[in-house]
Amino acid sequence: MNRRGKINLAKLAVILALLAVIGWWAVRQMDLSGVVDRSVAFFREAGPWPFFGAMALLPLLGFPISPFTLAAGPVFAPVLGLERVILFALLAVVANVALSYWIAARALRPLVMRIVKSFGHTLPEIQPNATWPVILLIRIVPGPPFFLQNYLLGLARVPFGIYMLVSTVVPAAYLAAVIVFGDAFMRGDRRAMIGAGLIFLVAGAILHLTRRFLARKKKGTERAGRGKDE
């Protein structure tokens, strides 16, 4: 690296250090507890319908669903009860995955098909006997964000009933755990936080075992296919 490049890097380091100091000072001066309390009060006064409606609609545009699940417990559990908050959040997810499927299968698919066809290709089709494993793998293997998974499965036009079942059951445990944790954290309830952590662990273990099972099943199918070819 030449001398000019080293000088530019040094300037950048000084600027970043100054920004870090300013940010640290701003956080120290800010009443974070007051900001959180005012935010909770604002959303609570707005009511559950705008909140859970936004939870259903904004992820269609790629907005992450996690901020809603983290905020739902602290905002609405004191007024609605934790069970209703979890139920409303699940209904928002159901609405979201259903709308995502409709948008992908009805509105986006014709456009995507024309684009793919212009390159001399066709959209891949999922065989009926592979529907369950494919949907499960897409839902439980880390990779594309949730909204993109919805659109991919909608474009593939997987059976709607299986899609809805897997798309709501798989994230349900994590969603409930996050809501319970958020509410417990705001109340300082350590037992409830530990309970939410245990839900995370159990759900993670189940998904891990399911991934291993599907991977073994896929390898067995591939070996059987190679055996027939030989």
| pLDDT, tens digit (0-9, with 9 covering 90-100), for 38-59 | 555 666 777 788 889 988 998 8
Which residue did the predictor score with more confidence, 1 or 135? 135
pLDDT-derived band of residue 127, with 50, 70 and 90 as boundaries? confident
SS3 145: coil
pLDDT digits (tens, 9 = 90+) for 184-202: 887 787 787 787 778 777 7
pLDDT-derived band of residue 114, with 50, 70 and 90 as boundaries? confident
| Mean pLDDT of the region 149-164 | 89
Domain ranges of the chain: 1-30, 33-229
Tell me the C-alpha to C-alpha distance, in Å, between residue 138 and each of 28, 89, 143, 191, 192. Answer: 43, 22, 8, 33, 31
